[in-house]
Amino acid sequence: MNFPQKNATDLELRFQLAKELAEEAGAVALDYFQRRDELVIETKRDPQDVVSVADRSVEALLRKRIESAFPEDGILGEEYGLLSGTGRFTWVIDPIDGTAPFVNGLPNWCVSIALLADEEPVIGVIKAACDDELFAAMKGKGASVNGRSLILNATKTLQNGLTGIGGNSHVPPAMVGASITRLLEAGGNFVRTGSGALMLAHVAAGRLVGYFEPYMHAWDCLAGYCLVKEAGGDHLPFPVQRDALQKGSPVLAAGPGAFRELVELVPHIDDF
């Protein structure tokens, strides 16, 4: 970690580290991406749910650096689970969100780092290595991409912008299809890139007006949630209390001109 600023708060020190780690991990992941033909690819839940040595190596790097800097902090990662801490902070990390695009040679992947303080997302940092973009947000300090402030435009709606839609085998395909159908019927349009974390960062940047996925994990969404909130948008709550942090939940975030309509438009799992 770079030499800390004088009188920096506990949160500011962790924000500084999160940005440094995202850059470092992004560079390591990008090197793997450029040598992806050498990687051994494994499947987890189904043939679309893949993992590689790149995911595990990058998460191990992140964990080692966090444990060295703040040994009292907890860490939850996609590949190695939860390490409980003794303090009020818990890091929530996804070493490569969008592994399927990653292993197939598409640039739609990112490194996602979030921090919870007393069960509240207070830091969100996402590195889109292929685009060399660093999205960063800290509670009360706004959001930025490569140092440029992000402030969402309330005139952007479902009808004059693009909405991200995600899906996976945790929910019925018909639910994802219904999401797309309802959005199109409302006069909107959709995109799907394969990385929920990156699409949430694009919501914060105003490139998408909103994002919905019926089921995601904390490591996929909490960094993006912090980014969207600090950029002036809103999101559904995500369960972060105790064991709930390791379980999935619907994820929805949008700018001020689209949030309410998107909440009312999307289907609910109980309908399927």
Going from N- to C-terminal start, the domains of the chain cover: 10-150, 162-271
Residue 34 host element (H or E): helix 10-34
Average pLDDT over residues 154-182: 94
Average pLDDT over residues 159-167: 96
Judge contact between 134 and 23, C-beta under 8 A.
yes
Average pLDDT over residues 232-251: 91
CA separation, residue 130 to residues 81, 106, 148 (Å): 27, 9, 18
Domain 162-271 has CATH 3.30.70.2740: no
The alpha carbon of 137 is separated from its chain's Cα centroid by a whole number of angstroms, namely 12
Provide the edge-to-edge strand list for the sheet that holds 189-191.
Answer: 189-191, 162-165, 210-216, 249-254, 234-235
Counting Cα atoms < 13 Å in the Cβ hemisphere of 195 gives: 29
- Dihedral of alpha carbons 82, 86, 88, 91, sign: negative
Q: Lowest mean pLDDT of 137-151, 154-168, 233-247, name the range.
A: 233-247
Band (pLDDT 50/70/90 cuts) for residue 271 is confident
3-state per-residue secondary structure call for 117-151: ECCEEEEEEEEEHHHCEEEEEECCCCEEECCEEEC
In this model, does residue 74 exceed pLDDT 50?
A: yes
In this model, does residue 49 exceed pLDDT 70?
A: no
Rounded-to-integer distance, Cα 213 and Cα 204, Å = 16
Judge contact between 76 and 58, C-beta under 8 A.
no
Q: Lowest mean pLDDT of 7-11, 30-34, 164-168, 173-177, name the range.
A: 7-11
Q: Which CATH number fits domain 10-150: 1.10.10.10, 3.40.50.1100, 3.40.50.300, 3.30.540.10?
A: 3.30.540.10
Tell me the pLDDT tens digit for each residue of 196-229. 999 999 999 999 999 999 999 999 999 999 999 9
Band (pLDDT 50/70/90 cuts) for residue 8 is low
Rounded-to-integer distance, Cα 236 and Cα 261, Å = 13
Band (pLDDT 50/70/90 cuts) for residue 43 is low
Rounded-to-integer distance, Cα 116 and Cα 125, Å = 12
Tell me the pLDDT tens digit for each residue of 92-133. 999 999 988 998 999 999 999 999 998 899 999 999 999 999
In this prediction, residue 119 carries a pLDDT of 85
Q: Percentage of residues in the chain with pLDDT exceeding 90? A: 76
In this model, does residue 236 exceed pLDDT 90?
A: yes
- For residue 235, give every residue at least 6 positions away whose Cβ sits within 8 Å of its Cβ, in sequence order, or none: 225, 228, 229, 251, 252, 253, 254
As a whole number, the mean pLDDT across the chain is 91
Highest mean predicted confidence (pLDDT) among 3-12, 36-45, 88-97: 88-97
